[in-house]
A and B are shown apart, each in its own frame.
Chain A
Amino acid sequence: MTENTSETRAESDGGTTADPTNDEMVIETDVAGATDDRDSTATPDPIIRSRDLDVFYGEERALDSIDIDIPENRVTAIIGPSGCGKSTFLRCVNRMNDRIDSCRVTGELSLRGKNVYDDDVDPVALRRRVGMVFQEPNPFPKSIYDNVAYGLDIQDVEGDHDEIVEESLKRAALWDEVNHQLDSSGLELSGGQQQRLCIARAIAPDPEVLLMDEPASALDPVATSQVEDLIEELAEDYTVIIVTHNMQQAARISDKTAVFLTGGELVEFGDTEQIFENPEHQRVEDYITGKFG
């Protein structure tokens, strides 16, 4: 594993400059304006690192040589137009793509230095370390308590489950609304509450990384802002990677932003403020300012 605490950043077109055969190669690039207040405390270690990651659906290329270093305990937003592969990238991290027969992944994607696509990696064990929240709220038709305790039960988590459930619901800012009805069905909640229930479910077994695939896109504005506040709080303890269509949302809640553009390319990755205020690439600026996409 490459321990690199200096300014380490995969450059936008890194795939073309990096030697694809050298997985250990890290491109060091000094980016102007990297000394804003967030980064003044030095960029944390990358928890997720991908090198030359390609994904194909059958013959169709969905991701094109993605090199990225995602820092720990930060919110990293992935934005881009529809079909640019941002959800595909997210689903690579916990290998949910394995469930699609036609999907083929090459290259490296490592979690704390271990390539998750190595043969000896059990995707089930991986997913216990990487939680996921989906676009549509998808609580189980079980009680609120059983929904949150689901991961604890299947993973045989030690400790007092009642306490963990309460703690998770509190962290998901849902406890005050549901503490008197833990036995009622999770489906009786409103859409925004259901999504927070799904977040509570995802964080209950205490994963290291939390993946969020457009978690607020099916919610109304009030519920969206609740979920956004929640994500910012979660970043204190978790590495959050969030895919979103909504650029204002990315600007509001993320520390780092990755811009994927059509063809499955990672065009630019950097501090959110810099991406939104002073992007390096004209295509990124066009996308952010709404000229295309």
Chain B
Amino acid sequence: MATDTTTEVAGGFGQVSRTVGQLFRYLLLAATLFGLVFVTILLVYVANDAIQPLTADPGWHLTFFLALVVPTLAAGAYVYRRDGEAFQTGALAIGLAVVSLMFSGGAAMIFADIVEPLTFLAFLVAVAVPGVVTLAVVAYDDRIPFLGQFAVTVAAFYLSLFGVPGPLGAAAGISSVVPGVFGLLAGVPLAPAPWLLAVLSVGLPLAAVGGSLVARDRGRRARLFAGAGILAVPLAGGIVGPFVGVDPLPATVVASVGFVPPIVYAANVAINVPRERVALLIPVTIIVGALVGAFAVDLAGFAGPQSWVDWAFLTASHSNTAEDAGFYPAIGGSILLMVTVAVFAFPVGVGAAVYLEEYAPDNRFTRVVDVNISNLAGVPSVVYGLLGFGLFVTYLGQPDGTVLLGGLTLGLLILPIVIISAREAIRSVPEEQRAASYGMGATKWQTVKNVVLPRSFSGILTGTILALGRAIGETAPLIMIGAPNVTYSLPTSFSEAASAMPLQVYAWSSLYAGPNFYNKVVPAGVVVLVAVLLAMNSIAIVLRNKYQVGD
């Protein structure tokens, strides 16, 4: 009955029945958890197949339970009781360590197989030199007209990257006379060892940033000391790496990208936030527990789980026997695809969002564009694959299946999502902030540059990362543009064909039939793919929380 507001006399006021309301509430709860529960169950099954935790000795489980799980829970509970904020800091430190390590793996792949450290360093310097020129020009901007500044800046970048006369001259048939900074450095015959170059090109910038973070405003000396201390980490990576069976170059990169951020974070907490120092108990417990556990297990001879996600799986390429099949080229392909997607979709999407929010007049044209961007977000991905194939391969004559082609196609796919989320972020900038800026006599460009974009940037970044998460899992467009299901080596340039993680999983599940492929290798691939996705999303979530706090 709809009118079940039965009242009965109790305590003088009577009671109002809430049965229907309660029922409705639990139905809503069920709706909320429906998808979540089923996906979680699936992932647990997948992870079980991939990692096979039950194949380990009970002693192995017991050792790690005692050495790692119990102390971690105890430390976590202790810190949480003392200070909730410190607990968050500690959890964030662990999350940062995990995410940084995963990213360092990707970075190590890029340096080991795709970009020579010397090339990367030359590129960095070739961009830094005209960058400094640009800053100098901007500092004297009252004496040089805008077009002059623009010309100097463009010329500086062109000369530094390409030299005289560069590709323009090559197009006119003149061979290069003076190489640019890039050409000069990249062609140096006597370069130090690659891992030292990696220390210079990756470790040094990170150390500079980390040093100033840790030293705060304690002056130049403190900053230098902190930076030097941080720089010791990649150096140590390069030196120690060979002794534990890792090449010095990937070891340096992993140490720079994987170890430096959590170390800087921990040092920052330890030095600058004494109140939350207790938070570091959590990561220290976990690291010590893991080391002790590993040592004890080794000593006692307990066998670990026969995981299919192991070092060999991550570093080998596909094989026709399930035991030898690996994921390495697919991971590398996905990384390159994501770089291409981000480089294409981020500026275009944010540009469109800024135009629609800040510049577009409120007329019929804008409304049509508006509605259709939302429609584009719902177009099936296979259609985007067709678009990519038709546009880039048929019309522009590009070879099919290349990184560039795949990246642009996936970029088109997520463009509407990037635009919509960036617009949301821009719209959330309070109108009063814009009014304040315009009231000071700012032009629209100055307002967008100084007020709107800085304030909405983390929101824009969050939306873009979530959109990248969508792109990394897409399979259909890659199939449509003819990306190979299986490659045996990493692509070394953007014009080479590359596979991707979801495509490789698809290939294993359909083309290389065999029970072990179905039951073990596919779950292992899925676990890696989902782990990468979760790492990306966790960055987005941290950014979003920070953004909301800052509001």
* Interface, chain A (partner B; CB < 8 A): 94, 96, 99, 101, 124-129, 131-132, 134, 136, 138-141, 150-151, 153-156, 198, 201-202, 205
> In the assembled complex, which residues on chain B have CB atoms less than 8 Å from the CB atom of A140?
433, 436-437, 450-451
> In the assembled complex, which residues on chain A have CB atoms less than 8 Å from the CB atom of B451?
140
Task: Find out whether the CB atom of B435 lies under 8 angstroms from the CB atom of A134.
Answer: yes
Task: Find out whether the CB atom of B435 lies under 8 angstroms from the CB atom of A96.
Answer: yes
Task: Find out whether the CB atom of B442 lies under 8 angstroms from the CB atom of A154.
Answer: yes
Task: Find out whether the CB atom of B436 lies under 8 angstroms from the CB atom of A155.
Answer: no
Interface SS of chain B: helix, strand, loop or mixed? helix
**Is B440 an interface residue when CB atoms closer than 8 A count as contact?**
yes
Task: Find out whether the CB atom of B440 lies under 8 angstroms from the CB atom of A151.
Answer: yes
> In the assembled complex, which residues on chain B have CB atoms less than 8 Å from the CB atom of A198?
436
Select one of B435, B439, B455 contacting A131, CB under 8 A.
B439
List 15 extra interface pairs beyond A134-B432, A138-B436, A202-B440, CB under 8 A.
A101-B362, A125-B441, A127-B438, A127-B439, A131-B440, A132-B439, A136-B432, A138-B430, A141-B455, A141-B550, A151-B441, A153-B450, A154-B441, A156-B142, A205-B440
| Interface 1/0 per residue, B428-470 and A, CB below 8 Å | 0010110111111111001000110011000000000000000
Give the CA-CA distance A46 to B446 in the complex, in Å: 32
Select one of A101, A125, A141, A201 contacting B440, CB under 8 A.
A201
Q: Nearest Cβ in chain A — how far from B445, in angstroms?
A: 10
Q: Nearest Cβ in chain A — how far from B151, in angstroms?
A: 20
Task: Closest A residue to B436 by CB, please name it.
Answer: A138
> In the assembled complex, which residues on chain B have CB atoms less than 8 Å from the CB atom of A136?
432
Give the CA-CA distance A277 to B440 in the complex, in Å: 37
Give the CA-CA distance A99 to B436 in the complex, in Å: 13
Known: A141-B550, A156-B142. Contact between A124 and B442, CB under 8 A?
yes
Q: Nearest Cβ in chain B — how far from A31, in angstroms?
A: 34
Count B interface residues, CB 8 Å: 20
> In the assembled complex, which residues on chain A have CB atoms less than 8 Å from the CB atom of B454?
141
Give the CA-CA distance A124 to B439 in the complex, in Å: 8
Give the CA-CA distance A125 to B550 in the complex, in Å: 33
Query: What are 15 pairs between A and B in contact, CB < 8 Å?
Result: A99-B438, A124-B441, A126-B441, A129-B441, A131-B439, A138-B433, A138-B436, A140-B436, A140-B437, A140-B450, A141-B550, A150-B440, A150-B450, A151-B440, A155-B441
Give the CA-CA distance A21 to B455 in the complex, in Å: 47
Give the CA-CA distance A136 to B454 in the complex, in Å: 21
Q: Nearest Cβ in chain A — how far from B320, in angstroms?
A: 58
Give the CA-CA distance A155 to B438 in the complex, in Å: 12
Give the CA-CA distance A138 to B450 in the complex, in Å: 15
Select one of A101, A128, A139 contacting B441, CB under 8 A.
A128
Give the CA-CA distance A136 to B450 in the complex, in Å: 20
Q: Among the interface residues B441, B442, B454, which one has the most CB atoms of the partner chain A within 10 A?
A: B441
> In the assembled complex, which residues on chain A have CB atoms less than 8 Å from the CB atom of B142?
156
Task: Find out whether the CB atom of B439 lies under 8 angstroms from the CB atom of A154.
Answer: no
Task: Find out whether the CB atom of B435 lies under 8 angstroms from the CB atom of A138.
Answer: yes
> In the assembled complex, which residues on chain A have CB atoms less than 8 Å from the CB atom of B443?
124, 154
> In the assembled complex, which residues on chain B have CB atoms less than 8 Å from the CB atom of A138?
430, 432-433, 435-436
Give the CA-CA distance A119 to B8 in the complex, in Å: 75
Known: A140-B451, A141-B550. Contact between A96 and B438, CB under 8 A?
yes
Task: Closest A residue to B444 by CB, please name it.
Answer: A124
Task: Find out whether the CB atom of B441 lies under 8 angstroms from the CB atom of A205.
Answer: yes
4 tightest Cβ-Cβ pairs between the two chains A and B: A128-B441, A132-B439, A127-B441, A138-B432
Q: Nearest Cβ in chain B — how far from A103, in angstroms?
A: 13
> In the assembled complex, which residues on chain B have CB atoms less than 8 Å from the CB atom of A129?
441
Give the CA-CA distance A99 to B438 in the complex, in Å: 9
Q: Nearest Cβ in chain B — how far from A113, in angstroms?
A: 20
> In the assembled complex, which residues on chain A have CB atoms less than 8 Å from the CB atom of B436?
134, 138-140, 198, 201
Give the CA-CA distance A138 to B436 in the complex, in Å: 7
Task: Closest A residue to B217 by CB, please name it.
Answer: A183
Task: Find out whether the CB atom of A154 lies under 8 angstroms from the CB atom of B440.
Answer: yes
